Chain A
Amino acid sequence: DIQMTQSPSSLSASVGDRVTITCRASQGISNYLAWYQQKPGKVPELVIYAASTLQSGVPSRFSGSGSGTDFTLTISSLQPEDVATYYCQKYDSVPLTFGGGTKVEIK
């Protein structure tokens, strides 16, 4: 099965900083990649699908890129409400594996 590896596992940045999270697939998955945001104590929410398409209602400071095996989620200007753990998920074929998560905190 394809493994999904996220880096870093955690990061701390200042409000207004540009933040980049990486997700790597052990085999190519085209653009079948989603990103989720899970705020502390809350249900996960879809942020990006098809590697780069913003889910309706998500602020435009979030963007995604990549194809094949390497993907990134970027927050262009970190806001306090972006404190959360972010997960990538492949969905080219079952099992639809999640990455290990990246915890984003404010410095």
Chain B
Amino acid sequence: DAKTTQPNSMESNEEEPVHLPCNHSTISGTDYIHWYRQLPSQGPEYVIHGLTSNVNNRMASLAIAEDRKSSTLILHRATLRDAAVYYCILRAGTQGGSEKLVFGKGTKLTVNP
């Protein structure tokens, strides 16, 4: 499985932007980049995913490097409810390979009021 590397923890202040980095230097051309987050005592929640182009949705933006070896999840205005563990995951875009989704340790985001 292609691996990802994320910082163990990050801090942010409320209403400020947050940039959560993820390195995936061994990514293959068919791997999709997925982001999930897990609030305390809950199951993970899908945030966003992309392949090559930057992506935006109501929750966040995903900026993907031109060489695809890294990506950044952007929360435009952090709120206290954004405090969670954020996981960056690679999902194979090949037949028979995309069913398996392996989570790393993620980044624990603390949002200060």
Asked if A and B are interacting partners, one says no
* B interface with A by C-beta (< 8 Å): none
* A interface with B by C-beta (< 8 Å): none
